[in-house]
Amino acid sequence: MTTLKNDRYLKALLREPVDMTPVWMMRQAGRYLPEYKATRAQAGDFMSLCRNAELACEVTLQPLRRYALDAAILFSDILTIPDAMGLGLSFGAGEGPKFAKPIENKSAVDNLPIPDPEQELQYVMNAVRTIRRELKGEVPLIGFSGSPWTLATYMVEGGSSKAFTKIKKMLYTQPHLLHSLLDKLAQSVILYLNAQIKAGAQAVMIFDTWGGVLAHRDYLDFSLQYMHQIVDGLIREHDGRKVPVTLFTKGGGLWLEAMADTGCDALGLDWTVNIADARARVGHKVALQGNMDPSILYAPAPRIEQEVRSILADFGQGSGHVFNLGHGIHQDVPVESPKVLVDSIHQLSQAYHK
């Protein structure tokens, strides 16, 4: 077993006792840090940064040098799998992702390959191995993937969307076709996350960014069903340790009980959910991650501390809470604010673990 100097994040995910509530932030390696901007400029563009193991490692470690975070998360993108399927991913300046060859018909789905993680996605595994080496056991490394539904939204829409009309048209007019695409993506995600675990990721997270745009039954059939399939297919113990799995559906507060029934170890919460209510609903089954509104990091230090106190009090005594933002950190927050957040959590949470 690899010795970890700080394993409270892994323990909290497994609802084991900890000395204080662990914290990390979604998108903690990113554009709010001047050193990240410098490294990205050095790389030339976003995907070049992702594909360079040394630079991906550098930006993964940057927030850990500033803040006493309890975990590192692999620097990568959720769209690596569809990119490896040959859809022609690009990022325009100041724009979101675009696919040159969006999925429009049955032949496009049938012709999609399932990428070999150590071939087409080897650059991600190289980054995982490099980061694990350079972390030197200080904190655990989180691997991740987008959910099949979320990946499919980009692949069918051809990029970002507000109304999701193309994929919802497919859902309602060609449901069997969409199921075929989602099944292929689920198989790909299982291979991808298991390869990350073998390469050194000590926990994994599935980001279902767009599950919340679905109607109730459609969420269960077209999003959660495939995340459940992934959970069932993952390596759950490696290197002498359990490998915790976290599911996060943005806007998914309606479905916490169903999400907990997948057999995952933890659920991510966005800021629209009260964590006390969430714990009452599912806390005997899973740990909870969240759930501060990222925009509170614009506020002065006393307001950030007030929010930390409120969320810790709402969760209450005992383990099973990983403090996080309810979604990714905004790129224009003051760089001092995350330090206020992290230090407040560590200081104020100790009373809840005695």
- Please tell me whether the peptide bond between 291 and the residue prior to it is cis, using omega within 30 degrees of 0: yes
251 annotated as ligand-binding: no
281 in catalytic set = no
CA neighbours closer than 13 Å in the CB half-sphere of residue 245: 28
Question: Which residues lie below 8 Å from residue 168, measured CB to CB, with a gap of 6+?
Answer: none
Contacts with 73 (C-beta within 8 Å, 6 or more apart), sequence order:
24, 26, 28, 29, 60, 141, 142, 144, 205
Amino acid identity of residue 146, one-letter, is G
**Residue 29 assigned ligand-binding role:** yes
Which of 19, 31, 172, 277 does the annotation list as catalytic? 31
Q: Which residue is catalytic, options 32, 36, 67, 154?
A: 154
Q: How many Å apart are CA 59 and CA 49, to the nearest integer?
A: 9
Q: Examine the residue annotation and report whether 31 is marked as an active-site residue of this protein.
A: yes
Q: Is 172 a residue of the active site? A: no
Distances in whole angstroms, Cα of residue 38 to Cα of each of 30, 60, 236: 11, 14, 37
Q: Which of 7, 8, 15, 27 does the annotation list as catalytic?
A: 27
Bridge partners, 204 (sequence order):
143, 245
Task: Find tokens 């930006």 and name the residue.
Answer: 59
Tell me which residue has tokens 């957040």.
Answer: 341
- Give the separation between CA 131 and CA 136, rounded to whole angstroms: 9
- Known binding residue 246? Answer is no
27 known ligand binder: yes
Of 66, 77, 236, 309, the catalytic one is 77
How far are the Cα atoms of 74, 114, 230 from residue 191, in angstroms, in the given order?
17, 9, 9
β-pair partners for 23? 323
Catalytic machinery residues? 27, 31, 40, 77, 154
**Residues annotated in the binding site for substrate, as ranges?**
27-31, 77, 154, 209, 327
**Residues annotated in the binding site, as ranges?**
27-31, 77, 154, 209, 327
